[in-house]
Amino acid sequence: MINFFKIVIFLTFICSATPIFSQSTRVYEYWLDRFLLPRLKQKFNNHKVIDEIYVHLKSKIASVMKIKKILSEDKQAEFLEPKKYFNKELISHKTNLGKKKARTLEKLLNNLENIYGVDRNILLAIWANESFFGRVMPKLDALQVLSLLSFSSKNRLFYLSELIHLIDFAIENENDVRELKVSKAGALGQPQFLPSTLVKFAVDYDNDGTKDIWDNPSDTLASIANYLNKFGWDNDFEWGYEVRLSENISCYLEGPDHSRSLNQWKKLGVSRFKEKDFPEDDLNNSYSLMFPAGIYGPIYLVSKNFYAIKKYNNSDLYALSVGFIGDKIKYNHHDFFKGWETTENFTKNEIMELQEKLSEKYDVGGIDGLIGYKTRRAIGIYQKDNNSRQTCWLPL
């Protein structure tokens, strides 16, 4: 009878949207004993490693509540004013270091461009954003973080899969998985790869027998290049151009499903700043409008390369920052032509409430609390339908 009730309690926990874990570590320990350890032993033949992992996790029980609190914190820049994502001092620091890296790693970057066909400046910009060129590395225990996320997050099955990928990679590459560190999202090393990404895209560029994204810049940059290459980066395209619009183009024309050639955009009155023209060999390529802060910030025409960057991190502001830093490394005195206006702050819950309201009539791209292009576009169409100023930004 006791065992039966334990099973019921455990199954109730697994199905519950609000984990019991928030009150106690006992259920987590029970989960380690009765679910995770048997699952890992079933998956892996190397039971010695699995036993070491189990002992390691049990030794860290005392810090479980502290780590859970860290994992629950949400300070992503996507939920703040967009202009805070582009701190001038920080961008300048990344740019200056990026220019130095471009010189000292010139031979490596030449080779990577030849092999993968990815712009070196974009590689440097991602490296800068993810770990400040390897200077700022994640410090949380990988096994503990991924086990806790497997146990108590809304995406339990996803993180359980990531934990298995991590162990698989460590065994294959002879890493001591107990020593690996991650961010609170479970990302590893200088390029901040999730374990599944590490397994699929990490590269042993120098052929030393290890895919070292922790201490080896060549493996790190090659792995980033491999990732972008696999997701469609094409050096025949620019990632994007900052533009200004004629009055007849509304912000709700944003999005890749409204793509047109640069020639067509020109005919509609889209132009670059300072009398610059679009490159002749790019005029027939397809680009789409992107309003990262509605009408309250810079406006871009972006190519499929922008969306390749978004595969790395599904945030318009992240992808824009990568492109912007890449251009600053590449060109002298590059900057935004249009500034970022101060806008109201909204919480993730407030954005989700807005998405719920708009989704009754408009496509917001999902109730996720992120102001992506479909949500911005839905706001703009709502504003048009209600004869109000079309800003494609909050508030309505």
What torsion, rounded to 10 degrees, do the Cα atoms 182, 187, 191, 196 define? 130
Check pLDDT > 50 for residue 21: no
d(CA 26, CA 388): 55
Q: Specify the amino acid at residue 306.
A: F
Q: What is the mean pLDDT of the chain?
A: 92
For residue 298, cis peptide bond before it (omega within 30 degrees of 0): no
pLDDT at residue 347, as a whole number? 86
Counting every residue, how long is the chain?
Answer: 396
pLDDT above 80: residue 8: no
- What pLDDT sits at residue 12? 43
Assigned token pair, 188: 């590893």
**pLDDT number for residue 82:** 73
What band does 4 get if pLDDT is binned at 50, 70 and 90? very low
User: What is the pLDDT confidence band of residue 348, given thresholds at 50, 70 and 90?
Assistant: confident
Q: Is it the case that residue 75 has pLDDT exceeding 70?
A: no
Mean local confidence (pLDDT), 114-135: 98
Mean pLDDT within 116-144: 98
pLDDT value for 74: 60
Give pLDDT, residue 391.
97
Please tell me the predicted confidence (pLDDT) of residue 6. Answer: 45
Distance CA(363)–CA(352), nearest Å, equals: 13
15 band by pLDDT with thresholds 50, 70 and 90:
very low
315, pLDDT greater than 50: yes
pLDDT at 266 over 70: yes
**Residue carrying structure tokens 């824009």:** 320
pLDDT digits (tens, 9 = 90+) for 76-108: 545 556 767 799 999 999 999 999 999 999 999
Sorted by sequence, the CB contacts under 8 Å of residue 231 that are 6+ apart come out as 308, 311, 312
pLDDT digits (tens, 9 = 90+) for 26-71: 999 999 999 999 999 999 999 999 999 999 999 999 999 999 999 9
Q: Helices 217-230 & 304-312, crossing angle to 10 degrees? A: 130
Give 383's contacts (C-beta < 8 A, 6+ positions apart): 389, 390, 391, 392, 396
Q: What is the pLDDT of residue 163?
A: 98
pLDDT tens figures, 204-235:
999 999 999 999 999 999 999 999 999 999 99
CB burial readout 67-82, b (16+ within 10 A) else e: bbeebeeeeeebbebb
The pLDDT > 90 percentage for the chain reads 85
Q: Does residue 299 register a pLDDT over 70?
A: yes
* CB atoms inside a 10 Å sphere around CB 276: 10
Q: Which tokens go with 285?
A: 């390529």
Q: What is the pTM of this model?
A: 0.91
Which of 81-85, 101-105, 146-150, 322-326 shows the lowest mean pLDDT across its residues? 81-85
DSSP string, 176-240: -GGG-EE-TT--BTTTTB-HHHHHHH---TT-SS---TTT-HHHHHHHHHHHHHHTT--TTS-SE
pLDDT of residue 345: 84
pLDDT of residue 73: 78
3-state secondary structure of 295: strand
Mean pLDDT of 138-146: 98
Contact assessment for residue 223 and residue 173, using Cβ atoms and an 8 Å cutoff: no
What contacts 24+ positions apart, CB below 8 Å, involve 254-258? 254/288, 254/289, 254/290, 254/291, 254/373, 254/376, 254/377, 254/380, 254/392, 255/288, 255/289, 255/373, 255/374, 255/377, 256/288, 256/304, 256/307, 256/373, 257/288, 258/288, 258/289
Q: Which CATH number fits domain 2-73+139-188: 1.20.1050, 3.30.70, 1.10.8, 1.10.10?
A: 1.10.8
Task: Using pLDDT thresholds of 50, 70 and 90, give the confidence band for residue 2.
Answer: very low
7-11, 199-203, 215-219, 351-355: segment of lowest average pLDDT = 7-11
Please report, for the chain, the start and end positions of each structural domain, with discontinuous segments joined by +: 2-73+139-188, 348-385
DSSP code string of 32-71: IIIIIHHHHHHH-S-HHHHHHHHHHHHHTGGGHHHHHHHH
Q: What is the pLDDT of residue 386?
A: 97
pLDDT at residue number 9: 42
Reported as type and span, the H/E element at residue 302 is strand 299-302
